[in-house]
Amino acid sequence: MDVMQRRLLTAGAVICALAAIPSLASADVVEIGKLDPNVKSSCPGPVPKCYAFVRATGYQAKVGTTRGLMTVPADGRIVAFTVGLGKPGPKQIDFFTNGTNKFGAPSVQITILDPKRKLRARAVAQSESFPVTPYFGTVVQFPLTKSVAVKKGQIVAVTSTTWAPILATGLATDTSWRASRAKGSCSDVATQTAQIQPNQLTQYYCIYPTARVNYSATLITNPVAPTTTPTKTTPKQTTTKKK
């Protein structure tokens, strides 16, 4: 076998090997409800009151003309979530922690909701709870010790069994969020309404306009198999006669 023939056969083998390399089945990283850097949690705010998210599970229903901000776009796993925290002063912290309602130490976690009819939703999964006091005044991301499986169409909600300064208030009237409170109890912050029981079904009747819950969730989607299967190419063997 002469040099020219060996080179042609080698080149053909390389082409065959390249054709046999499989396509990548890649996953996407999606930030559900990406935070707006211009929207800050209102605690403390321009008014004497400090607004906080208390004893509830909630999700952002609408921002402007955009609905479904916290709806899961594809099957996958939530691996982290982010909250934008206000910076309450000592008196405000004492009011929420030790005041009349004794909410306790501030904390947050995420809850996955399966939406049902008549503004009801069932809690199907949730993360561990994280204390937030050390992070007041910052935007902090919490990586989950164990990722949470989600399905397309479910809702990523935020939960605090105590309180957390994650509410941005004084926004436009076309911005609103919903909480796990039934009709007639929208102003009741003393009662624990956070969805913390497995498969708990709760009504999200209460909607709060001109406010946004400052949180987002990081989703890694399940990998999607390639639509085409690479085909193996058989090279032609070319011989060169010696003269």
Is residue 199 situated within a structural domain? yes
Q: How many domains does the chain fold into?
A: 1
Is residue 15 situated within a structural domain? no
Is residue 124 situated within a structural domain? yes
Q: Do 106 and 165 meet the contact criterion of CB atoms below 8 Å apart? A: yes
Write a three-state SS string for 141-169. Answer: EEEEEEEEEECCCCEEEEEEEEEECCEEE
Is residue 132 situated within a structural domain? yes
Residue in the block written with tokens 């605690």: 43
Domain that holds residue 95: 29-221
- State pTM to two decimals: 0.82
Is residue 207 situated within a structural domain? yes
Is residue 5 situated within a structural domain? no
Q: Is beta strand 130-131 parallel, antiparallel or unpaired with respect to 201-203?
A: unpaired
Is residue 164 situated within a structural domain? yes
pLDDT digits (tens, 9 = 90+) for 121-130: 999 999 999 9
Question: Per-residue pLDDT averaged across 173-190, rounded?
Answer: 94
- Which SS3 state, helix, strand or coil, does residue 237 take? coil
Is residue 242 situated within a structural domain? no
Contacts of 182-191 with C-beta under 8 Å, sequence gap 24+, read: 182/206, 189/54, 189/55, 189/101, 190/55, 190/101, 191/55
pLDDT digits (tens, 9 = 90+) for 52-107: 999 999 999 999 989 999 999 999 999 999 999 999 999 899 988 887 778 999 99
